[in-house]
Homo-oligomer: A and B are copies of this chain.
Amino acid sequence: MNGKRKNNFSEWYNEILDKAKILDIRYPVKGLYVWFQYGFKIRRLVLENIRKILENSGHDEVLFPLLIPDQEFAKEAKHIRGFENEVYWVTHGGREPLNVKLALRPTSETAIYPMFSLWIRSHGNMPFRIYQVVNTFRYETKHTRPMLRLREITTFVEAHTVHSTLDDAKIQVKEAISGYREFFELLGVPYAISQRLDWDKFPGAEYTIAFDTIFPDGRTLQIATVHNLGQNFAKTFEIKFENKNGEQSYAYQTCYGISDRVIASTLVHHGDDSGLCLIPNIAPVQIVIVPIWFKDSKKDVDKVIKKLKEDLNEFRINIDDRELRPGNKFYDWEVKGVPLRLEVGPAEIKKSEVIAVRRDTGTKIKISMKNIAMDVKKQLDDITINLKSRAWSEFNDQIHDVTSIEELKSILSGKGGIIRFEWCGDRGCAKTLEVETGSNLLGTLNADGQGKCLRCNKESKGILQVGRTY
């Protein structure tokens, strides 16, 4: 797969999903896929990370129904307009038509907020924070892709919060952003943050902050969004509370979420032409031990490896004792992205050491069996650091500040990435630019304008970023 990750990303991606046993893409419905055993283990570890972050910041897990009755779903006008073309509808139970048709949640505001109107009573309840991990559904008419554009989003982690003041909601937005920063840091996924343009925000929100990453083919991918909902949904769903002065007031809300795309991102950013290369934090197997057997040494080698496994029991370890040639085993675990491989044969035992091979660099080093846990930990930490810095450096190479439309077009049609420039703040100006250049508007940076608008040359109000999105 020489250079394939960069030069034929789509093919590389589909190959990796199959070879590393992440997803089976042969399920007989467009946009639906099957999580293989190994892929599921990675997914579980990714979820452990986000659950920990959410719970440490005061979110409790709950679970709401999948099915939303038509009348609730249709209550918030902007929200329904935003989703009506992509909602799946259940219309029949058994052979009978249902009295009320039921939406498969595309997101859960309209399932959750009617219950919030029963739950939220007083400012003493707040801040109130919950989250759930669920499957959601979008009837995508565009080209679907595993984990990137799905009809069943299998891993939707959505948080919903309620506050007594707008300021508290704003603070929550900031906390959510910092939680996601921490999460992406753990996964080694680089990102750019921007505020979505007013006409691109979440339907029903006051404003939307989004995280985008960049894939090796230069296209951008939205990987997280955080929405300040103001009182919009509270007014629609009658979410009221008694404030400090004893008066009834509509609540302020936020919501934010991530999905399967995050899992795809960590796989894509660190993978290479030989397969996956997992960041140790989410590697189902962090260390594989491959015995190098010779006829007369098998027993000794197995004994030493058994001891090694005990010494390394703080890590997720696999001893590959299959009856295969070591080379075949190396290949398997390389494709699956196991961060560190230890080889142990009679020569190593004699010197009381092991050969350690790093997946990220291919470097072979010798590690003494004494204090092996400490040395292995150091290697895994180094791998984490290296993977992160490699991914960020690749990412930063794909961020471009431009001062002319020609430059913008040339980058878009070339290596792609995120392109930034000064903008006057006018919707028409941005829309025209979008059409003229074939770009997608991502949003504005939190920065003042310092020059002239790229397109109309009027006074800039700030920085706009664009790309070509998935």
Residues of A participating in the B interface, judged by any CB pair closer than 8 Å: 24, 26-29, 32-37, 40-41, 43-44, 60-67, 69, 72, 84-95, 100, 102, 104, 111, 114-115, 118-119, 130, 135, 137, 139, 141, 151-152, 154
Contact A94 B85 (CB under 8 A): yes
Copies of the protein in its oligomer = 2
List 20 other contacts, CB 8 Å, given A28-B114, A37-B60, A84-B94: A27-B115, A32-B65, A33-B65, A34-B62, A34-B63, A34-B64, A35-B62, A36-B62, A37-B61, A65-B152, A66-B137, A67-B152, A87-B93, A88-B90, A88-B93, A88-B102, A89-B90, A89-B92, A91-B92, A94-B141
User: A118–B28 Cα gap in the complex (Å)?
Assistant: 12
A400 CB, min distance to chain B CBs, angstroms: 36
Most B CB atoms within 10 A — which of A34, A66, A102?
A: A34
Chain B residues near A87 (CB, 8 Å)? 93-94
CB-defined A-B contacts under 8 Å, sample of 10 = A27-B64, A27-B111, A34-B62, A34-B64, A66-B152, A87-B94, A88-B90, A91-B92, A93-B139, A135-B135
**Judging by beta carbons under 8 Å apart, are A66 and B139 in contact?**
no
A104 partner residues in chain B, CB cutoff 8 A: 90
Contacts of A115 in B (CB 8 A): 24, 26-27, 34
Interface of A is mostly: mixed
Q: Is the CB of A69 within 8 A of B26?
A: no
Contact across chains for A67 and B32 when beta carbons are under 8 A apart: yes
Contact A88-B84, Cβ < 8 Å, known A62-B36, A62-B37: no
**Most chain B beta-carbon contacts within 10 A, residue among A36, A86, A89, A100:** A89
Chain B residues with CB below 8 A from A141, complex form? 94
Is A135 in contact with B62, judged by CB distance below 8 angstroms? Answer: no
List B contacts of A114 (CB < 8 A). Answer: 27-28
Chain B: minimal CB distance from A413 (Å):
32
A33 surroundings in chain B (CB, below 8 A): 65
Question: Which A-B residue pairs are the 4 nearest by beta carbons?
Answer: A93-B139, A37-B60, A32-B65, A35-B63
Contact call B69/A29, Cβ cutoff below 8 A: yes
In the assembled complex, the Cα of A70 lies from the Cα of B90 at a distance in Å of: 14
Contact status A44-B61, CB under 8 Å: yes
Give the docked Cα–Cα distance between A152 and B115 (Å).
17
Distance in Å: Cβ of A141 to nearest Cβ of chain B: 8
Looking across the interface, which residue of chain B has its beta carbon closest to that of A138? Answer: B93
Given A67-B32, A69-B28, A152-B67, CB of A84 within 8 Å of CB of B95 = yes
Given A29-B69, A34-B115, also A62-B88 (CB < 8 A)? no
Chain B residue contacts of A27, Cβ below 8 A:
64-65, 111, 114-115
Which chain B residues border A40 with CB–CB below 8 Å? 60-63
When chains A and B are docked, how far (Å) is the Cα of A122 from the Cα of B309? 31
A39 to chain B, nearest CB (A): 8
Rounded to whole Å, the gap between the CB of A146 and the closest CB of chain B is 12
Known: A62-B34, A84-B94. A67 touches B130 (CB 8 A): no
Which of chain B's residues have a CB closer than 8 A to the CB of A119?
24
Bound Cα distance A115, B29 (Å)? 12
* Chain B residues with CB below 8 A from A85, complex form: 94-95
- CA gap between A317 and B44 in the complex, in Å: 26
When C-beta atoms are compared, the residue in chain B nearest to A118 turns out to be B26
Q: Are A102 and B62 in contact (CB under 8 A)?
A: no
Bound form: Cα–Cα A148–B69 in Å: 22
Interchain CB contact under 8 A, A37 and B130: yes
Least distance between A154 CB and chain B CB atoms (Å): 6
Question: With a CB–CB cut-off of 8 A, which chain B residues contact A91?
Answer: 89-92
Question: Which residues from B are CB-within-8-Å of A151?
Answer: 67
- Give the complex CA separation of A87 and B154 in angstroms: 21
Q: Which B residues are in CB contact (< 8 Å) with A69?
A: 28-29
For the complex formed, measure the closest distance between the CB of A356 and the CB atoms of chain B, giving whole angstroms.
28
Does B86 contact A93, Cβ atoms closer than 8 Å? Answer: yes
Distance of A407 from chain B, by nearest CB (Å): 39
A266, chain B: closest CB distance, angstroms: 18
Closest to A130 in B: B37
User: What are the residues of chain B within 8 A of A26 when measuring CB–CB?
Assistant: 115, 118
